[in-house]
Chain A
Amino acid sequence: MKLILTGGRVVDPSLNIDAVLDISIEDGKIAGIGPDIPKEPAKSRKGMQTNVKTIHLGGMIVVPGLIDMHVHLREPGFEYKETIETGSRAAAAGGFTSVACMPNTNPVNDSRSITEFIKKKAALCGLVNVYPIAAVSIGSAGTNLTDFRDLRDAGAVGFSDDGKPVANSALMRRALEYASSISLPVISHCEDTLLSAGGVMNEGFAATELGLQGIPAIAEDVMTVRDIMIAAYTGAAVHIAHVSTAGSVDIIREAKKRGIRVTAETAPHYFTLTEESLREYDTFYKVNPPLRTKEDVAAVKEGLRDDTIDVIASDHAPHAATDKEVEFDLASSGMVGLETSLALSLSLVSDGVLTLPQLIQKMSAWPAKVLNIPKGTLRIGADADITVIDTKKTWTVDRMQFRSRSRNSPFHGRQMTGRAILTIKGGKITYSDNQDNT
């Protein structure tokens, strides 16, 4: 079976391509890319059996399969929020061909057996490449390192105690050193939990008026500084997760200038929403780190623009109604993001913050680079992971239509522009808005 994508505008920053080209796919790999891929014979359009399927993509954008390097698939342990299968479906529908899932499951992914379980379930489902991130410390308890090498051999592509910081600086130092020696990243959730203790939203004027306990920006910033200092000292690499503050953006920018091995990601809600969204005590807006001020939003955008922030990742955090239909103080933090991430990120292009190739780079080539995985490119011979985007399609977010098991999106009802219309993973169509293609 051969698949030919024809007539689309191919944008692949990894190959420095931005042109109308055809792509042919054979045996799950990119077989050819160029202006003159032989077309199928005309008769096959009448529905005759053929071993060549051509999809005409005039006006569409064809990019390397998108990668979301920060999602919570909740399995094992929290299957009522999400499973690897529902999360995979959400990812495919959102245009993603690969995701990296955080280890804060139950039990925590701190062992070969959990990592293998995730890989196996994901392969069985087959809709998306799932790359497990394993815990830095056993049980993410912040005391003892997990078996990094064993976890790598089981399929883990990075380490993080996400959801919690690695509070112990000595442990963080050793984690960075050890991970660096096997060329895997440590993804740091930067939060000084003593500074953020009791906090449920950004510490600012909105929190003052709402009477909610604040999480100061410095709770994030001091840990960003610490991790960068450790990275500088050890020469190891660190990846800063979900950057939300102007301060952290500045710190990371300066660190990069000094040649420190730091990469960073942010999530769409940190360049889309502010603390003002919490005025109605809507728990769907409760995330950690919290939504910040409009100055922070501007700084995050600037960080994306000047590549201080390398990656956009959704921090897809599904929660059931029971986790959210409670007092703001008690509600779980997080929002689902896989199915809205691309559209929210495309607004960076329409707003002139990023060019389309820059955006695609932050959602494909660069997360692949951070995770050191052979993805995010349409190079001949690479796995045929491809996302086709209609950047002009307008649609309205309907949380009841989500493939995710959870519905906790504050973007419900919001008009969006642009979405994935076709997702191909390993040459196989995993999502299409056109029934004829599936």
Chain B
Amino acid sequence: MENKKVVMDADGIDRSLTRIAYEIIEKNKGVTELVLVGIRTGGVFLAERLQKKILKIEGVEIPMGILDITLYRDDLQKNPKKPLLGKTDIPFSLDNKKVILVDDVLFTGRTIRAAMDALIDFGRPKMIQLSVLIDRGHRELPIRADFVGKNLPSSLWEAVAVHLTEKTGTDEVVIEGTV
């Protein structure tokens, strides 16, 4: 039987992002050398929102890039269907920057591993920090987020989906699962 449960609504998402924006500024003692890199596709919209929030708080528009991790995935050989390749657009140097890597859901950690490998191919950041809206657990690699919107213990059989207005028209986080 299929069921769908809303675990975070639009206000919840916005509040979390506001908090994360403050946390980023606080942890990095300002925005100097800070850059945002959103992971395609969900992470991109969240990175854009964080960029706006930080601008509002600090009055500075920090650089933002887009990263497509497809070419770094570790499951390409196993997957009979080729993931559609998106464009990577990081129009600035990462050397000596503090990179805030942004994604929607942190799950096994494999996407983040791929993203970090990709970032390091772009240069030598001073530091990489990870910001996610949802951490649903079940890590397969030793990876931990620095900024988390909501910890959401989930079952492996469930799917956690982050819907954002930029893509689907609504802001909500849902658990969909067949149990």
In the complex they form, do A and B come into direct contact, defined as C-beta atoms under 8 angstroms apart?
A: no
